[in-house]
Amino acid sequence: MPLEISAKTILNKKKKPDEWFLDDYTLNPYSGCSFNCLYCYIRGSKYGIHMEEKLAVKTNAAELLEKQLRNLSKKNKYGVILLASATDPYLQIEKDTGLTRKLLEVILKYRFPLHVITKSDLITRDFDLLKQIDQGAILPANLQGKINRGVFITFSFSTLEDSVAKIFEPGATSPTKRLATLEQAAAAEFHCGVSMMPLLPFISDSEESLEKMFEAFKKAGAKYVFPASLTLFGENPADSKTLMFRAIEKHYPDLLDKYKNLFADDFRIAHG
């Protein structure tokens, strides 16, 4: 069972809006992540090798968000909320808690625009609320006249191959289901796209692989694609660099030396 924690704050203000994701605020209903992606940038000793074991539910999240958005709306400080920046808002536990849906109800009430990033097909459950947010959101001044949507939905992919995803993101919804969910979101007329963050060097970043992915995303109805290379950190047992190297050695031993060369330093952005 996940832990239950009481958060001190739930909505975090950024210094400036993100140029890609457009967000002014970040919102994470959960701490930790059961998707357990080996390459995740938040990995480390805090969450351990098996991140799902440290998964925590912020039980007072809706109450905190209600208070913060009420105050911000009174001051006309509208901005895009990113759901979520450090975990997935549609983990399997969401089926039981309904916490993300409760947050969406608060966001709808105060008419804040929203950007959802997910690897999950569970988002289809909330298409009704997301459609209402999309239609009624008040855009911040910097976006008025530039866009006419209140909701953006981005599906995260590192590969289209289910067998590859099972190695590197073992707890996540399969890419096959993810792609089908992207298609559903596009059919429902959401403004949606893809975050290819990260691409896996020598595995999913080849010309052939990229062409296959771009074709699939376009066919599914994606309006945009955010590509990015892989970044690995640390030498400790629970760090992304250690876990990725271990997986590469087990499943792609012929690539291990290439990975070691690309990530010879403690921190390196690789281009395969």
| 3-263 is a CATH 3.30.2270.10 domain | no
**pLDDT value of residue 17:** 86
CA 35/CA 240 separation, integer angstroms: 14
Summarize the confidence of residues 11-36 as an average pLDDT. Answer: 90
Mean pLDDT, the chain, as a whole number? 91
| Alpha-carbon distance values, 184 to 17, 53, 118 (Å) | 28, 32, 14
**What pLDDT, on the 0 to 100 scale, is given for residue 49?**
56
State the residue for tokens 């030396």: 257
Output the six-digit token pair for 168: 């590197």
Cα gap 237→242, rounded to integer Å: 6
Dmax (CA) of the chain: 59
Interior CA angle at 228 toward 232 and 55, to 5°? 55
Q: What is the mean pLDDT of residues 66-87?
A: 95
Residue 52 pLDDT level (bands cut at 50, 70, 90): low
Lowest mean pLDDT among 37-41, 148-152, 246-250: 37-41
Residues 6+ apart with CB under 8 A from 17: 23, 24, 79, 80, 140, 142
pLDDT band at 270 (very low <50, low <70, confident <90, very high): very low
Instruction: Name the pTM for this structure.
Output: 0.92
The reported pLDDT for the residue numbered 267 is 56
Share of the chain above pLDDT 70, in %: 92
Q: Which pLDDT score, from 0 to 100, does residue 251 have? A: 98
Kindly indicate the confidence band of residue 134, based on its pLDDT and cuts at 50, 70 and 90: very high
The pLDDT value given to residue 19: 84
CA distances 18 to 1, 24, 81, 82, 111, Å, are 35, 7, 11, 10, 20
How far from 256 is each of 22, 53, 127, 141, 210, CA to CA, in Å? Answer: 37, 28, 42, 49, 22
2 pLDDT tier (thresholds 50, 70, 90): confident
Q: What pLDDT is stored for residue 20 in this prediction?
A: 85
- Closest to 182 in 3D by CA, of 132, 127, 128: 127
At 118-130, the pLDDT tens digits run 999 999 999 999 9
Q: Which helix (H) or strand (E) holds 268?
A: strand 268-269
Query: For position 271, what pLDDT does the model report?
Result: 42
Integer Cα distance of 115 and 163 in angstroms? 29
Q: What is the mean pLDDT of residues 140-154?
A: 94
Q: What is the pLDDT of residue 55?
A: 84
Query: Among the residues of 112-266, which ranges form H helices?
Result: 127-136, 162-168, 175-187, 207-220, 240-251, 256-262
User: Are the C-beta atoms of 169 and 130 separated by less than 8 Å?
Assistant: no
pLDDT at 234: 83
Domain boundaries, the chain: 3-263
